[in-house]
Amino acid sequence: MLHLVNKSPFERTTLEACLRRAAPGSGILLYEDGVYAALAGTSFAPTIANATNAFDIFVLAPDLAARGYAPDAVIDGVRTIDYDGFVDLTIEKQSVQSWL
């Protein structure tokens, strides 16, 4: 399963809802305003750093770039992917769930 989260963790609770219910080993892709969850040095970063132990967490690079962040701004253990990587992930993880 690949979980998709596109809302800022500072404004909405969709990422927390996802983290509480995703099965261990699931993929979680942070995109659009969801990329703010992937940044190191924020008050939310420890939650994601901890979640990398249970899940494969990805962040979409073009959405990071649009918001002024380079790939090196993300938390260790979170993998940066591009649009092609997004497509590959949806195939690899077989099913997709959007947390809107």
Partner 1 sequence: MSDATETADGLVTKRFLYVNRKAPHGTVYALEVLEMILVAAMYEQDVHVAFLDDGVFQLRKNQATEELEMKDFSKTYRALEDYGVEKIFLEKESMEERGLTPDDLVIPAATIDRKQMTELMDSMDVVLSA
Which CB, 82 or 88, lies closer to partner 1? 82
Q: Minimum Å distance from CB 45 to partner 1?
A: 8
Distance CA 100, CA 98 (A): 6
Q: Are 97 and 5 in contact (CB under 8 A)?
A: no
Which CB, 28 or 63, lies closer to partner 1? 63
In 26-74, which residue ranges form alpha helices assigned H by DSSP? 45-51, 61-66
Q: Minimum Å distance from CB 23 to partner 1?
A: 27
Q: Are 96 and 14 in contact (CB under 8 A)?
A: no
Q: Minimum Å distance from CB 66 to partner 1?
A: 4
Q: What is the DSSP letter of 12?
A: -
Residues near partner 1 (CB under 8 A): 6-8, 10-11, 32-33, 36, 39-43, 45, 62-63, 65-70, 83
Which CB, 19 or 35, lies closer to partner 1? 35
Distance CA 19, CA 22 (A): 6
